[in-house]
Amino acid sequence: MTTATIAPSPAAPVGDAANVRPAAPHLNFNQIANEQFQAAADHMKLDREIQLLLRTPYRELIVQIPVRMDNGSLELFHGFRVQHNAVRGPYKGGIRYHHKVDLNEVRSLAALMTWKTALVDVPFGGAKGGITCDPTNMSRKELQSLTRGFAQKIDMALGVYRDIPAPDVGTNAQVMAWIMDEYGKKHGYTPAIVTGKPVNLGGSLGRDEATGRGVMIITREACKAFGMDIKNARVAIQGFGNVGSWAARLISNLGAKIVAVSDVKGGIYAEKGLDIEKVFTHLNSTGSVVDMPGTQDVTNEELLTLNVDVLIPAALGGAITEKNVDDVKAKLVVEAANSPVTPFADEKFRSKGIRIVPDILANAGGVTVSYFEWVQNLQQFNWDLDKVNHELELRMVKAWNAVHQRHTDEKIPLRMAAYAVALAKVAEASRQRF
Ligand code: NAD
């Protein structure tokens, strides 16, 4: 198998081991987020008062949502909205529909949003929401009822200058349209209350692909910085949903070989690289990427351990743990998903010279274009796609440069560098307000 060359790692055992405390193997998502925050706060010698303010969320809502199901029975769902921090602007964050959603996960994702919005310098804070449910087993009518019920219950916490939801795993533009419609019943026409809505209802061109486009930009910049030739790189992507599929398409357009992709049902592999447009056609006709003619089926576990240059986990958190980290062969891991690498695995990677581009940088393209959507809604003036993509490119490259600079100057891991850049902005705004 051909592999792209990689320059010797200046950061690999580079200062990294010295700067990070050993991580426990089993942590929940909130403990992981706290661990990452604390490591950066310690490194920056962030003052105690600011740490106190940033360590826990500002507000947490847990709501009960009764839904009359199609079979006539009443089911009770639980929904969460966690508002972590808003010193830099209104709370901002997606809403996840998944059977594993719980308060801890939503808390951790809300904190990641605070750091992400600061890192790409958009004037938002951080929030996240979710409902514990399995949307794949619900009808459109049931999903609409669930979404409208949730929107009513969290209405008092939302607002164009207070808290603006967006899609995440298991939700999409249609779900945002229902939230906007429900909010509008009480408050009047308010497109800026959600982002990631259909373009026809005030959504932004380029929002659908924005997170994947950001992943492509960051992967390209990381390859450049670390002496890897993206044109000859072999790439595996776990998760072929909104983020993974767009990342696959855009990274393959750069000339890289996407040798494997997967979804919840399994993955496919092609030694010479997959034709991504054909994967889309196959997915659209069968509902999954698996069993695509001319490819070899692989499991999600096997995909993570393939002989590739770049591994992009783009599904759920906790994909790479103490159980499989030793089998990963990639030289660069780009966290398109949120929290796909546990701190224990992170540490292992660094000790082996494998670089990890953290989630708060790699997947920040989505919230960046969400910001553009919000701006367009407030100004009632639409941008064309070229402007959206151009502005996204500028912000993502600027964020990459700031993180890479700090990584090199302070000889700290990319994750700690990203947190340091973000925390500095949030801390400064906190000091100015308090
Ligand atoms: P999505 O629901 O569109 O797609 C998720 C994909 O992962 C699907 O292909 C699904 O089949 C697959 N998947 C689910 N469970 C899996 C499993 N156990 N193993 C392997 N594959 C599995 O979600 P998305 O919007 O693409 O989000 C993916 C990740 O990116 C999440 O971690 C999300 O928080 C993060 N993210 C999304 C956005 C966004 O704008 N959508 C922005 C920032 C971060």
Where in the chain do CATH 3.40.50.720 domains reside? 210-353
pLDDT tens digits, one per residue of 260-303: 999 999 999 999 999 999 999 999 999 999 999 999 999 999 99
- Mean pLDDT score of the chain: 94
Q: Residues with Cβ < 8 Å from 134, sequence gap 6 or more?
A: 98, 99
Confidence of residue 434 (pLDDT cuts 50, 70, 90): confident
For residue 381, the CA-to-ligand 1 centroid distance in Å is 31
Mean pLDDT, to the nearest integer, of 110-136?
A: 98
Rounded average pLDDT over 375-402: 98
Task: Look at the chain and count its residues.
Answer: 434
Q: Which pLDDT tens digit goes with each residue over 341-359?
A: 999 999 999 999 999 999 9
Cβ contact 190:110 at 8 Å: no
pLDDT tens by residue, 168-208: 999 999 999 999 999 999 999 999 999 999 999 999 999 99
Residue limits of CATH 3.40.50.10860 in the chain: 28-193
For residue 243, the CA-to-ligand 1 centroid distance in Å is 6
**Which is the closest atom of ligand 1 to the Cα of 339?**
32
Residue 361 has pLDDT above 70, yes or no: yes
| Contact between residue 60 and residue 80 where contact means Cβ atoms under 8 Å apart | yes
pLDDT digits (tens, 9 = 90+) for 232-266: 999 999 999 999 999 999 999 999 999 999 999 99
Residues with CB under 6 A from ligand 1: 167-170, 211, 238-244, 262-264, 300, 314-316, 336-338, 363, 366
Residue 17 has pLDDT above 90, yes or no: no
Q: Which ligand 1 atom minimizes the distance to the CA of 370?
A: 40
User: Residue 96 belongs to what H/E stretch?
Assistant: strand 91-98
pTM of the predicted structure, to 2 decimals: 0.93
Q: Give the closest residue (by CA) to ligand 1 atom 23.
A: 169
Superfamily of domain 28-193 in the CATH hierarchy:
Leucine Dehydrogenase, chain A, domain 1 (3.40.50.10860)
Q: Which of 10-14, 210-214, 291-295 has the lowest mean pLDDT?
A: 10-14
Average confidence (pLDDT) over 24-29: 77
Q: Are strands 163-167 and 257-263 parallel, antiparallel or unpaired?
A: unpaired
* 153 Cα: distance to centroid of ligand 1 (angstroms): 26
pLDDT classification of 11: cutoffs 50, 70, 90: very low
**Can you give the pLDDT at residue 272?**
97
pLDDT of residue 23: 64
pLDDT of 18 strictly over 60: no
State the DSSP code for 135.
G
Q: What token pair was written down for 193? A: 């209350």
What local confidence, expressed as pLDDT, does residue 25 receive?
64
Q: Whose CA is nearest to atom 2 of ligand 1?
A: 169
Separation of alpha carbons 384 and 391, rounded Å: 11
Q: What is the pLDDT of residue 27?
A: 82
Position 422 scores a pLDDT of 98
Q: Tell me the per-residue pLDDT of 141-169, one tens digit each, with 9 for 90 and over.
A: 999 999 999 999 999 999 999 999 999 99
In this prediction, residue 4 carries a pLDDT of 38
Beta bridge partners of 166: 94
Q: Answer yes or no: is pLDDT of 21 > 70.
A: no
Domain formed by 210-353, architecture: 3-Layer(aba) Sandwich (3.40)
| DSSP conformational letter for 265 | T
Give the span between the Cα atoms of 19 and 4, in whole angstroms.
29
Atom of ligand 1 nearest to the CA of 340: 32
Q: Is the pLDDT of residue 9 over 60?
A: no
pLDDT of 2 reads 36
C-beta of residue 154 within 8 angstroms of C-beta of residue 63: yes
Q: In what order do the strands lie in the sheet with 332-334?
A: 296-298, 266-269, 257-263, 234-238, 310-313, 332-334, 355-357
Percent of the chain residues past pLDDT 90, beyond the cut: 92
Q: In a mutational test of the pocket of ligand 1, which residue from 119, 216, 316 has the highest number of ligand atoms less than 8 Å from its CB?
A: 316
Name the catalytic one among 45, 100, 116, 128: 128
Q: Which atom, in ligand 1's list, is nearest to the CA of 359?
A: 44
- Would residue 128 show up in a list of annotated catalytic residues for this protein? yes
For 264-391, strand residue ranges (E) read 266-269, 296-298, 310-313, 332-334, 355-357
The band of 55, judged by pLDDT with boundaries at 50, 70 and 90, is: very high
13 vs 287, higher pLDDT: 287
Structure confidence at residue 28 (pLDDT): 87
